C-alpha cells in the first residue's frame, strides 16, 4: 500500500509569536503544503487583518479556525507526539533529527496519532521548558548563520512532510499516550523519585529531563503509562509502610 503522512493529523503550534505578519506568512506556508491546523500559544499581538493580508484569501479556512491557548499543557494535551524545533544546540537540547528524517518518521506515526510541531518566539526560539514536552527535536541544517525567519522554518518542515511518501504496508505505530497522560506520569515519577531520595528536591529538573529523554526514545502507549504509574503507586505504598513500621521498630513487609 503506497501512502504518506496524514497531514490532517498534524498541527503547527507557534509559541508566543510576536508579529502578526509572521503568523500570516506561516499560514500561507502551511496552506501551500496542505497542513490546515494552526495553534497559537500566548501571541503577543493578534491582528487578524494583518494575518489575513499576508496569508492571502486562499488561506481563509486556516485563519478562521486558529486556536489560541494560554496554557501550553492544555494546548498539547490531546497530542500523542510532540516535535520541537531549534537552531540552538547544546548538552541540554540535542538535535536528534533533520526535517527529512522527521518527515519519514511521521509517515507511520501519523496513521494513528496526532502530532504537534512547535516553533518558538521569533527572537529566542523554544526554551528548555518548552522542549521538555517534546518527544524529539528537529533542527534545520544551515551554513554559518543558522537563524531562520519563522515562516521559512515552517515552510521547510512542511515541505519535507509534503514530500514524505513511501511504502508503509508493514509499518504499524499504535496510538501513543497523549501529552496529558505523559505529564501525569512524569509528575508522578517526580514525586516518588524525590520521596525515595533519587532526585535532589532542590534541583530535580536536570534528572527529570534525562528521564524524559529516555522515554522519548521509545514513545509510550497509554497502557504502558498506566503500568509505570502502577509501579509508582506500589513504591509509594511500600515507602509509607517502611516509614510506619520503622517508627515502631519493625521491618517493612510486602502485600
Q: Please write the tens of the pLDDT for every residue from 220-242.
A: 998 999 999 999 999 999 888 88
Distance CA 240, CA 245 (A): 9
Strand locations in 16-163, DSSP E? 37-41, 67-69, 81-85, 115-119, 136-138
Domain identity same for 115 and 218: no
163 in a structural domain = yes
Q: Are residues 137 and 193 in the same domain?
A: no
When divided into structural domains, the chain yields a total of 2
Q: Which runs of E-coded beta strand occur in the chain?
A: 2-4, 10-15, 37-41, 67-69, 81-85, 115-119, 136-138, 165-167
* pLDDT, the chain, mean: 87
The CATH number linked to 128 is 3.40.1280.10
Assess whether 139 and 186 both reside in one domain. no
Same domain, 130 and 199: no
d(C-alpha 165, C-alpha 107), whole Å: 7
Same domain flag for 52 and 83: yes
Q: Is residue 253 part of a domain?
A: no
The answer to whether residues 147 and 187 belong to one domain is no
Q: Could you tell me if residue 29 is inside a domain? A: yes
Q: And the C-alpha cell for 254?
A: 510486602
Instruction: Determine the distance from the C-alpha atom of residue 36 to the mean position of all C-alpha atoms in its chain, rounded to a whole number.
Output: 18
The predicted-structure confidence for 52-80, as pLDDT tens digits, reads as follows 999 988 899 999 999 999 999 999 999 99
Q: Give pLDDT tens digits for 119-155.
A: 999 988 899 889 889 999 999 887 766 678 999 999 9
**Is residue 133 assigned to a domain?**
yes
pLDDT of amino acid 138: 93
What lies within 8 Å, CB to CB, of 152 at 6+ separation is none
Quick one: pLDDT at residue 169? 43
Same domain (yes/no): 68, 152: yes
> 81-85 and 115-119: which strand pairing?
parallel
Is 147 inside a domain boundary? yes
Examine the fold and report which residue of 133, 167, 201 is the final residue of a domain before the chain moves on.
Answer: 167
Q: Rounded to two decimals, what is the model's pTM?
A: 0.80
The whole-angstrom separation of Cα 176 and Cα 238 is 30
Q: How far apart are the two ends of the chain, measured CA to CA in Å?
A: 51
Using an 8 Å Cβ cutoff, are 186 and 73 in contact? Answer: no
- Report the distance separating Cα 219 and Cα 222, nearest Å: 10
**Domain with 221 in it: what CATH number?**
1.10.8.590
**Domain of residue 185, residue span:** 179-246
- How confident is the model over 103-119, as pLDDT tens digits? 999 999 999 999 999 99
Q: What is the pLDDT of residue 61?
A: 95
* 163 shares its domain with 217: no
Is the pLDDT at 165 greater than 70? The verdict is no
Q: Is the pLDDT of residue 95 over 80?
A: no
Contact 11, 81 (CB under 8 A): no
Picking from 140, 167, 194, the residue at the C-terminal end of a domain is 167
Encode pLDDT of 167-181 as tens digits.
Answer: 454 556 788 999 999
Q: Which of 115, 146, 167 lies at the terminal end of a domain, its last residue?
A: 167
3-state helix, strand, coil in the chain (%, to 5): 50, 15, 40
Query: Are 28 and 130 in the same domain?
Result: yes
Amino acid at each position: 500500500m503506497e501512502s504518506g503522512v496524514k497531514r490532517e493529523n498534524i498541527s503547527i503550534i507557534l509559541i508566543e509569536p510576536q508579529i502578526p505578519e509572521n503568523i500570516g506568512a506561516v499560514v500561507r506556508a502551511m496552506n501551500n503544503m496542505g497542513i490546515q491546523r494552526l495553534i497559537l500559544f500566548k501571541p503577543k499581538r493578534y491582528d487578524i487583518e494583518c494575518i489575513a493580508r499576508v496569508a492571502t484569501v486562499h488561506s481563509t479556512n486556516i485563519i478562521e479556525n486558529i486556536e489560541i491557548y494560554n496554557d501550553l499543557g492544555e494546548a498539547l494535551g490531546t497530542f500523542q507526539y510532540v516535535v520541537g524545533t531549534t537552531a540552538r544546540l547544546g548538552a541540554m537540547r540535542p538535535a536528534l533529527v533533520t526535517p527529512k528524517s522527521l518527515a519519514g518518521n511521521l509517515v507511520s506515526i501519523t496513521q494513528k496519532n496526532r502530532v504537534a510541531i512547535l516553533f518558538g518566539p521569533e527572537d529566542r526560539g523554544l526554551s528548555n521548558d518548552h522542549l521538555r514536552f517534546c518527544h524529539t527535536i528537529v533542527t534545520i541544517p544551515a551554513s554559518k548563520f543558522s537563524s531562520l525567519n519563522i515562516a521559512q522554518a515552517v515552510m521547510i518542515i512542511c515541505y519535507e512532510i509534503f514530500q514524505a511518501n513511501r511504502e508503509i504496508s508493514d509499518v504499524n505505530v499504535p496510538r501513543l499516550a497523549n501529552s496529558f497522560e505523559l505529564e501525569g506520569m512524569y509528575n508522578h515519577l517526580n514525586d516518588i523519585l524525590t520521596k525515595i531520595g533519587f532526585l535532589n528536591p532542590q534541583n530535580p529538573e536536570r534528572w527529570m529531563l534525562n528521564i524524559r529523554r529516555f522515554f522519548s526514545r521509545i514513545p509510550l502507549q497509554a497502557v504502558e503509562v498506566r503500568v509505570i504509574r502502577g509501579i509508582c503507586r506500589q513504591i509509594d505504598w511500600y515507602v509509607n509502610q517502611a516509614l510506619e513500621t520503622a517508627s515502631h521498630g519493625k521491618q517493612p513487609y510486602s502485600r
